Amino acid sequence: MTNAELADRLRDLRDFLIIAGYEESHATRYTQIARQIEKMPEPIAELLGEGRLREIPGVGALVAQYIREILEEGVSSKQREWEKEAPITVLELVRIPGVGANTAKRLFAEFGIDSAAALRAALDSGILEDAPGIGPKTLATMRAFVGS
């Protein structure tokens, strides 16, 4: 896995945790660490192999463990733990232009929308038409993205 790929995974972890209800101010650390990893000249695999993950600014023992798990298993125990609160498919929502983690969290918490397919069904049913904070432009973007 490249540094850029790991950074993307850490950003996904941040978004997933926010949607699942994890404290946003704590989840944000994964974005900061992702930026640090992207700037590093050394491949992340090299740091892992040399036991130097904790040299990355912001990475302590626990985050180093999550990074190691992502690199070795493709998923962290942090994600697995929070999958009790939300399915990983909620990340499909943040792939929609203009839909960030907080909007996806709201769609999940208030409407039970946990995937692009669920969003398509919600759009087809019209339940989002009068939802505060979700205007016509956002609805049009969502429809275009999910094919509704």
Give the C-alpha separation, 49 to 32, whole Å. 22
SS3 (DSSP) at 81: helix
Kindly list the distances between the CA atom of residue 80 and the CA atoms of 37, 55, 70, 100, 135, in Å, as whole numbers in the listed order: 23, 25, 11, 21, 34
Please provide the DSSP assignment of 2-65 as one string.
-HHHHHHHHHHHHHHHHHHT--HHHHTHHHHHHHHHHH-SS-HHHHHHTT-GGGSTT--HHHHH
Domains of the chain in start order, with CATH, are 3-82 (1.10.150.110), 88-146 (1.10.150.20)
Q: What is the pLDDT of residues 30-59, one digit of tens each?
A: 999 999 999 999 999 999 999 999 999 999
| pTM for this predicted structure | 0.91
**Stretch 88-113: mean pLDDT:** 94
In the chain, the amino acid numbered 146 is V
DSSP one-letter code for 89: G
Task: Please check the confidence at residue 4 and state whether its pLDDT lies above 80.
Answer: yes
State the pLDDT confidence band at 14, using cuts at 50, 70 and 90.
very high
